[in-house]
Amino acid sequence: MGDKNYSTLGEFIINNQHDFKYSSGELSRLLTSIKLAAKIVNHEVNKAGLVDILGAVGETNIQGEDQQKLDVYANEIFKSALINREIVCGITSEEEDDFITIQGKYNAHDNKYVLLIDPLDGSSNVDVNVSVGTIFSVYRRITPPGMPVRKEDFLQEGNKQVAAGYIVYGTSTMLVYTTGHGVNGFTLNPAIGSFYLSHPDMKFPEEGNIFSINQGNYAHFPQGVKDYIKYGQEEKDNRPYTYRYIGSMVSDFHRNMVKGGIYIYPTSSKAPNGKLRLLYECNPMAFLTEQAGGKATDGHIRIMDIKPKELHERSPIFCGSTKMVEKAESFMKKYTSNK
């Protein structure tokens, strides 16, 4: 990862610009804007219990889910941070019906990147003081610079990502990201407002014993998932696994990357295509997983090789420690004829 005689996120971004193939400073400015927006959202999350910002706003997003007030707020903060600085040529968000094309006085149509974002993953947990997060993904546009972005700029396979990351707003606030050269985590020092490198070169342990899945949906799961759950409950080797499920993907994922584990959100009879969004959740987390030495699939094929068809397409996901994901896949493979 180059010279590590630096400590802040800003210094790290500048010192590692050379790792990026098309470096011109634009990606660095984009990541800096995400950092600034994250600090604003973090401030609001931390004081959410003191002001009228909890709960739903009475509207639903494109997914048909109730929008939480903090979802809407976070969405506006990240949009403003990137639109006002004219760093990207387009944005799409889990909270928006369609993508946003950006053109300002400096003609942002000329910019290289598009941003895809889940502004506040797990926001319903804020009401009960549980960690939530932001997930983001960056692609290099495929349409020619100088013209408005098109949907095809966003509907790219995950293997085309140039950066991805998340911010977890918890007991401490961390920003974790990759540009394809490993995964690094930065912790916010709220006293001075700076992120410091706290988790360099993060790696999934090859094997783990944490199992994250909503077992309340067990009756609706495919048989392969049911079989893997039973396997995880056996008294053998390093099993039974420890079951930990927060219901905030960022929090579950972060814990598993640090300690070793698998996160599963499969298809079910209630959600035949899965529940999580391919573009806003699965692809960025898959990129991070692979860069941290883990594995991410839909139970059968690599997440980042899936060609998206819609902005709000859903997908099942199995991600985490490689050996755990491969074992889960082996159970799924027994029922491939049902896929």
Q: 297-326 pLDDT, tens per residue?
A: 999 999 999 999 999 999 999 999 999 999
What does the pLDDT look like over 253-305, one tens digit per residue? Answer: 999 999 999 999 999 999 999 999 999 999 999 999 999 999 999 999 999 99
Binding-site residues from annotation for Mg(2+): 94, 118, 120-121, 281
List phi, psi (to 5°) of 176.
Answer: -120, 130
| pLDDT reported for residue 64 | 61
Please name the helix (run of DSSP H) or strand (run of DSSP E) that holds residue 121, with its range, or none.
Answer: strand 113-121
Q: Which domain holds residue 149?
A: 9-199
CA 72 to chain centre: 18
Binding residue positions for substrate = 121-124, 214, 245, 275
Whether residue 273 sits in one domain with residue 170: no
Q: Binding site: which residues?
A: 94, 118, 120-124, 214, 245, 275, 281
Question: pLDDT value at position 47?
Answer: 75
Based on the fold, state whether residues 193 and 232 are members of the same structural domain. no
CATH of the domain at 181: 3.30.540.10
pLDDT given at position 25: 78
Is the torsion defined by CA of 152, 156, 162, 165 positive or negative? positive
Residue where a domain stops, chosen among 199, 229, 260: 199
Classify residue 204: in a domain, yes or no: no
Q: What is the pTM of this model?
A: 0.91
d(CA 101, CA 90): 4
pLDDT at 3 over 70: no
- Residue 201 has a pLDDT of 97
Residues 6+ away with beta carbon under 8 Å from 116? 91, 92, 93, 136, 137, 138, 139, 154, 279, 280, 283, 284
Contacts of 58 (CB under 8 A, 6+ apart): none
Q: Are residues 123 and 249 in the same domain?
A: no
**Interval 8-34 mean pLDDT:** 81
CA 201 to chain centre: 18
- Domain count along the chain: 2
Residue-averaged pLDDT of the chain: 89
Query: Is the same domain home to 191 and 330?
Result: no
Are 224 and 188 in a shared domain?
Answer: no
pLDDT average, residue stretch 128-147: 91
Same domain as 181, residue 288: no
Domain boundary among 171, 199, 227: 199
Cα distances (Å, whole numbers) of residue 30 to 23, 42, 46, 83: 12, 18, 24, 11
- Please state the rounded mean pLDDT for residues 132-159: 95
4 domain-assigned: no
Q: Which residues contact 24 (CB under 8 A, 6 or more apart)?
A: 112
pLDDT at 145: 87
Residues 221 and 305 in one domain: yes
Q: Are residues 182 and 286 in the same domain?
A: no
Of 339, 200, 177, 185, give the one whose Cα is nearest residue 274.
339
